[in-house]
Amino acid sequence: MLDKISQFINSLPDYIGQGILGIIVTVVTGLVLGYITSKYFTRKDELTRIEGLLLEKKIPIYKEIFKRLESLNNQVEYTPANCSMALQIMQECEIKRPKYLHSPQILENSDEMRETFLAIDQYATENKIFFDDDVASAMLVFQNYIIAFVRFQAMFREQMEQFGVTMSKEICNVEHQMMIALGLILSEDLFQQTQKVTTTIRNSLNNLSFNHRVAPTYRYEDFNDPESTIFKELLQTKAFAEREKIITLITHFVSIGLLAGKKYK
């Protein structure tokens, strides 16, 4: 077939043969270019569609995190009478009494606090694939920060369990005063940490883009190296910078709890 076409073109005058050959080349080139262009734009349209879906998914996730973190800033005001034990232990530990006796409402119930903080941590972990770089970094620091509060409660509970003291009404009251003390100490600190994340989320929502997130690393060094970004950020918080004083404060409350446990056995 190709031989016949070639012979036919060769039998024509040169200017006609060259014209026909040029037309054939143009048509073939157009078909090839059209095929490649079609594939390219089809792929680009599909990527745009997927990125749009990811963006639509990201927005409600950011809004949910924003709402959860803002709720952590609800405050409870105490009088010296209903937080007297907390103030006394703070004084014994040489921790300065705040000007206003305000504490985050979330610390009013230590079990609810633990469940809320762990739920935030789980939600963030499950949806981190949708975060952009700035939000991912801010949330990672915040997740490690709030787990410190869970650990503070666990330190008290572990000691009660180790010495066979049940969480009676009296022991729960001691724990409640401990959480009030932690709230008085760390109220402003918790507020600042929530604001860092919510500000980052707000900036992300105000500057939505299809930029792809750089693949993160979750190495041991990232969380334990004093020179790592995460560790440095955490050390700037009061919960970590004054952890020795806080541990001393918890130890005092543990002693009170153990004494109360023996008294009511």
In a domain, 80, yes or no: yes
- 45: in domain: no
Task: Please report whether residue 11 resides in a domain.
Answer: no
Supply the DSSP symbol for 102: E
Quote the CA–CA distance of 75 and 185 in Å, as a whole number.
13
pLDDT confidence of residue 92: 94
pLDDT given at position 223: 52
Q: What is the pLDDT of residue 43?
A: 54
- Locate 44 and state its tokens: 């680009």
Give the pLDDT confidence score for residue 33 in this predicted structure. Answer: 62
Q: Are 222 and 170 in contact (CB under 8 A)?
A: no
Q: What is the pLDDT of residue 69?
A: 96
Per-residue pLDDT, 206: 82
pLDDT at residue 205, rounded to an integer: 82
Residue type, 60: P
* Within-domain flag for 81: yes
- Predicted local distance difference test score (pLDDT) of residue 217: 55
Inter-axis angle of helices 169-206 and 243-263, nearest 10: 150
Beta bridge partners of 103: 76
Measured CA to CA, the distance from residue 60 to residue 58 in angstroms comes to 6
Does 38 fall in a domain? no
Domain count, the chain: 1
What are the tokens at 158?
């572990």
Q: From 192, 65, 187, select the one nearest 116 (Cα to Cα).
A: 65
Write the burial class of residue 131 (CB in 10 Å: 0-12 exposed, 13-18 middle, 19+ buried).
buried
Asked if the structure places residue 23 within a domain, the reply is no
Average pLDDT for runs of 10 along the chain of length 265: 56 55 60 58 51 72 95 95 95 92 94 96 92 91 95 95 92 96 96 96 78 55 64 91 95 93 63
Nearest to 86 by CA among 169, 152, 185: 185
Flag whether 188 is in a domain.
yes
**Number of residues written out for the chain:** 265
Does any domain span residue 27? no
Q: Residue 229 belongs to what domain range?
A: 60-263
8 A C-beta contact, residue 146 and residue 117: yes
For every residue of 192-214, DSSP letters joined together read: HHHHHHHHHHHHHHHT---PPPP
